[in-house]
Structure 1
Amino acid sequence: MKKITLFLAAALLLMATGASAQSLNLGVKAGATLGKIDGQPFKDGYNLGVHAGFFADLGIGEKWGIQPEVLFNQTKTQVRSSSDVGDVLNQGTKGHLNYLSIPILLNFKPAKILTIQAGPQFGILMNKDNSLVDNGKEAFKSGDFAIDLGAQLNLGGFKVYGRYNIGLSDTRVSDVTDKSKWTNQQIQLGIGYVIL
């Protein structure tokens, strides 16, 4: 319920901002995702994945704006031990978690070339990789909530960005016996291009 309330509040803010936006740009973006799942059974270290999607830049004055995005976002992981998670995950198992991610970022532009970004990100799990889930058990919930922090260089119509994604929600389901919290952590590096 708390996540639904946050999502609705963000959507209302976005609609109100869109109605009073002084500028609107639409674009595409893509890049690399260095992701991991924090939690006792997972190997430390980041694994290379990809992300791609669309963004809108709603300008509010010269220095502020809102940037909603819709991204395909991939996290890769590997299990290091199976002793604490029952028979849900096998040791050494590798998997891909593909999310439809919806960040809603507040933009602050201290200079024309630089944008500082922060905001919530809502994720919807699009697959539960069969190589990661044993015997049809679902190890991961269907949603994710995170906070994004990052910066973007504005080079005309091109954008070059870096972002750190801090997972706040526990991605495991209740029937997994492991007591540690499983959270997504990501570093995203990429480029974008304004098409409208």
Structure 2
Amino acid sequence: MKKTVLVILCIIAFSGVKAQQVKFGVKAGLNVATIHGDNLNTDSRLGLHAGGLVELKLSDSFSIQPEVLYSQMGTENDANELKIDYISLPVMAKYYIIDGFSLEVGPQISFLVDDVLKTNDGGSLDPDLENYDLSANLGLGYQFKQGLFVQTRYNLGLTAIQENPDIKNGSFQISVGYQF
């Protein structure tokens, strides 16, 4: 039900947008993910993200870029590895400072696909995480004339993915993509 309402709201929000130019694209990259919260002692976990996007140019210097990504998050320490997989829906506002170079900011909602806590003794547990995660993104990008682009982004979790203790996601992302 929540997913249906979100999709309907996105359709309504973008139905009135009059884009000067619409470009579709694909992207993939590396996540350096971790969780943060009270008294945590964890290291980063490397994961991947991949998906599609649409860039709606509203002017020469401003565009909106909704994306759909499969994203691997989590964390690890000496005893455990927490693997969290999401379908993420960021909506980035992009401001082009100079030709090709953009600052990006926007919200992201992610829906849990899978979560597992693997222990060093070979066991696994269900960490029973929240089914969604709301976060804020801030990043930079560069668009080459041929359609290739590079992006870097920090994703700061705003909602707790588990309570007692409250823990939140965080990740640094590096992406490469191509717009058609």
Tell me if TM exceeds 0.5.
yes
The ranges of structure 1 where at least 4 consecutive aligned residues each deviate by more than 6 angstroms after the TM superposition are 4-8
Give the C-alpha shift of residue 136 in structure 1: 6.1
Paired residue for 1:141, among 115, 122, 130? 130
Paired residue for 1:101, among 79, 88, 101? 88
Give the C-alpha shift of residue 9 in structure 1: 5.5
Letter in 2 for 1:139: D
1:165 aligns with 2:155: yes
Which digits, 9 at most, give the CA deviation of each residue in 1:44-90, with x for residues without a partner? 3322111010010000011111000000000131257xxxxxxxxxx
- Does structure 2 retain, via aligned residues, the 8 Å contact 1:42–1:78? no
Structure 1 pair 101/155, CA: closer, same or farther in 2 (3 Å)?
same
Q: Which runs of 5 or more residues in structure 2 are unaligned?
A: none
1:187 aligns with 2:176: no
Give the Cα separation in 2 of the matches to 1:171 and 1:46. Answer: 17
Structure 1 pair 7/148, CA: closer, same or farther in 2 (3 Å)?
farther
- Does structure 2 retain, via aligned residues, the 8 Å contact 1:36–1:47? yes
After superposition, the CA RMSD in angstroms is: 2.6
Give the Cα separation in 1 of the matches to 2:140 and 2:11. Answer: 23
Letter in 2 for 1:154: Q
Equivalent residue number for residue 84 of structure 1: none
Letter in 1 for 2:97: P
Structure 1 pair 8/119, CA: closer, same or farther in 2 (3 Å)?
farther
Give the Cα separation in 1 of the matches to 2:14 and 2:92. Answer: 10
Give the C-alpha shift of residue 93 in structure 1: 1.8
Give the Cα separation in 1 of the matches to 2:115 and 2:84. Answer: 6
Alignment of 1:10-89 (within 5 A): 11-17=11-17, 20-40=18-38, 42-78=40-76
Instruction: Give % identity.
Output: 26
Paired residue for 2:100, among 113, 122, 135? 113
- Does structure 2 retain, via aligned residues, the 8 Å contact 1:54–1:69? yes
Give the Cα separation in 2 of the matches to 1:6 and 1:39. Answer: 28
Give the Cα separation in 1 of the matches to 2:66 and 2:154. Answer: 16
**3-state secondary structure, aligned to 2:16:** helix
State the aligned residue count.
175
Which digits, 9 at most, give the CA deviation of each residue in 1:78-107, with x for residues without a partner? 257xxxxxxxxxxx1212100000000111
TM-score (norm 1): 0.79
Paired residue for 2:116, among 129, 151, 168? 129
- Does structure 2 retain, via aligned residues, the 8 Å contact 1:55–1:70? yes
Identify the range of structure 1 (71-80 vs 164-173) with the bigger mean alpha-carbon deviation: 71-80
Give the Cα separation in 2 of the matches to 1:30 and 1:21. Answer: 25
**3-state secondary structure, aligned to 1:129:** strand
